[in-house]
Amino acid sequence: MKPDALPFAEKDFYLDEFHSKSILFVGSTDVLTSNEAIEEFGQVGRALVRNETRVVILLESSATREEQRRIASLYRLLTLGNRSKLPPPVELAATTSEEGLLAQIWAVLRTSPLFVGVWPGNSETTLLTCTQRIASRLKVYKLVLLNAEGGIDVDGNTLSFMNGPVLSELLRQGEAEWSGLGQHRPLLEMIRATLEGGVTSISLCAMPGLARELFTYEGCGTFFTLADYCRVERLGIDDFHEVEKLIERGEREGYLKPRSLAEIDQLLLHGYGARLGAAPGEMAGFCALLSYPEAQAAEIVGLYTITRFQGEGIGSRLVTTMIEEGKRRGMHYLFAVTTQEGAQRLFERHGFRRVSSEDVAAAKWHGYDAERKKSAAVYRRELPSAERGTLT
């Protein structure tokens, strides 16, 4: 694979999000134990620097010859092909005041998009201890915590997403311990304090895996954000490319049926996106609402939630919004056609009942694949006349 060949369809959207912002990476040189890990970190950092993202890297090191070699290798990859010479790594002192440390970082970032700092591993103050203050004082857009274990693990499964309310619940006295996360309490407390200090999001992940965590919808670690709310809004043209990639992913995974470009256009023009957090926020899911005026009905189509946000109620928010929109438009009923068991359960929880294909708009089946129709489940929800508005 070529050095910059990060094969992720979503990469460009995340680069757009990170443009002109600052990302702080914090970890030990222990995460750079393989050439593959060093190369991936170098690729990610170089892509961000070329994207005009400010990259701050703080590495804890005991200054052994091997650790110095790893840092030098990473620096060479970070600066590979850069037109202007970038400042070398800076040796930091744990005895430096907080103001002095921040001033050191800014002295480099004033003229360079990259700062690499080396924290003494033998000091009484660990780098992780002061990370919260550094991230909050710099008010970086994103903090990435790198470790050997990766994200938060529960019973062998990585938790892909945690928001403020979940963190608060876990950090109640004894709750983390009861949940089997007691060993993570100091880390979770630091993460919550950092989010409350103004950092938009935090990722906890291992190396390798950094590129997948930063540049894909599925991620590979645990993503933290303070926000506990979800906005479902009509798509605008600036969302179309991103949602097209979502639809392509859903088709590859088998959650969505293959569609022609004309059919995808219909989804985009009648689509709604669910985003988490402060604007613009993380895209968490999508669906569209297609009208059948002759039947005074509408169909929920293309319902898809991003992997790392599944189980967070995103699908439910989308369906609820579609029900309200159907009422506003004066529809007699909504329906959905799906082959996914999870989607079937979701529709049933929202008052849809399974019906035959003849019980929904006949126009739905014009040109529909006959084999898929045999295996598809059809769900319908009535919209009582008292709840309906004026047909628009």
Q: Residue 1: pLDDT above 60?
A: no
Q: Residue 4: pLDDT above 70?
A: no
Number of neighbouring beta carbons within 10 Å of residue 2: 6
Amino acid 364: pLDDT: 93
Q: Among 67-76, 129-138, 178-187, 212-221, whose mean pLDDT is lowest? A: 178-187
**CB under 8 A, 24+ apart: contacts of 352-356:** 352/379, 352/380, 352/381, 353/379, 353/380, 353/381, 354/378, 354/379, 355/379, 355/380
Higher-confidence position of 385 and 389: 385
- Residues forming beta bridges with residue 59, ordered by sequence position: 27, 118
Amino acid 374: pLDDT: 86
Q: Report yes or no: 298 and 290 within 8 Å, Cβ to Cβ.
A: yes
Amino acid 98: pLDDT: 86
Q: Are strands 353-355 and 90-91 parallel, antiparallel or unpaired?
A: unpaired
Give the H or E element holding residue 330.
Answer: none
Amino acid 119: pLDDT: 92
Number of neighbouring beta carbons within 10 Å of residue 374: 8
Mean pLDDT of all residues belonging to the chain: 87
The full set of domain ranges for the chain reads 11-225, 230-382
pTM: 0.77
Provide the 8-state DSSP code for 218: S
Q: Report yes or no: 246 and 306 within 8 Å, Cβ to Cβ.
A: yes
Higher-confidence position of 352 and 125: 352
Token pair for 117: 């700092």
Number of neighbouring beta carbons within 10 Å of residue 89: 19
Q: How confident is the model at residue 392 (pLDDT cuts 50, 70, 90)?
A: very low
Q: Report yes or no: 317 and 378 within 8 Å, Cβ to Cβ.
A: no
Q: Residue 6: pLDDT above 60?
A: no
Q: Report yes or no: 65 and 134 within 8 Å, Cβ to Cβ.
A: no
pLDDT in tens, 232-283: 999 999 999 989 988 988 898 888 888 999 999 999 999 999 987 666 677 8
Instruction: Report percent pLDDT > 90 for the chain.
Output: 56
Q: Report yes or no: 43 and 11 within 8 Å, Cβ to Cβ.
A: no
Q: Report yes or no: 58 and 25 within 8 Å, Cβ to Cβ.
A: yes
CATH number for the region 11-225 comes to 3.40.1160.10
Number of neighbouring beta carbons within 10 Å of residue 252: 11
Q: φ, ψ for residue 7 (rounded to 5)? A: -85, 65
Distance between CA atoms of residues 337 and 261, nearest Å: 20
Distance between CA atoms of residues 297 and 335, nearest Å: 8
Q: Residue 5: pLDDT above 60?
A: no
CATH 3.40.630.30 for domain 230-382: yes
Distance between CA atoms of residues 64 and 355, nearest Å: 69
Token pair for 219: 């991620």
Q: Residue 386: pLDDT above 50?
A: no
Token pair for 277: 């957090």
Inter-CA distances, 318 with 6, 165, 204, 232, 321, Å: 31, 21, 28, 7, 5
Amino acid 177: pLDDT: 67
Q: Residue 171: pLDDT above 90?
A: no
Q: Residue 59: pLDDT above 60?
A: yes
Inter-CA distances, 81 with 64, 109, 211, 273, Å: 28, 19, 20, 38
Q: Report yes or no: 49 and 113 within 8 Å, Cβ to Cβ.
A: yes
pLDDT in tens, 271-318: 999 987 666 677 889 999 999 999 999 999 999 988 777 767 889 999
